Amino acid sequence: MPAIFNAQAHAQRKGAVAMALLLVYIVWGTTYFAIGIALQSMPPLLMNAIRFLCAGG
C-alpha cells in the first residue's frame, strides 16, 4: 500500500480522536454546569433521585 494512503488514514484518525475528546469535554462540562444550577433550585436528595431515575430509565 502506498505511503500516501497511510498518511491520510493517520491524519483522519487524529482528527477523529480530537473530535471525540472535544465532545467529551463539552458533555462533561455541561453536566457539571447543570448540576450546579439544579442544586440552586432543588434539594440535593431530590436532585439525585431524579438523576438516578433518569439514568435507570
Residue 51 confidence (pLDDT): 86
Closest CA to 48 of 31, 35, 32: 35
> 0.75 exceeded by the pTM?
no
Domain count, the chain: 1
**The domain containing residue 28 runs over which residues?**
3-56
Query: What is the tens place of the pLDDT at every residue in 12-23?
Result: 788 889 999 999
Instruction: Identify each DSSP E strand in the chain by its residue range.
Output: none
Please say whether the beta carbons of 46 and 53 come within 8 A. Answer: no
Mean pLDDT of 6-15: 71
Taking the C-alpha atoms of residue 55 and residue 48, their distance in angstroms, rounded to an integer, is 10
Q: Residue holding cell 488514514?
A: 9
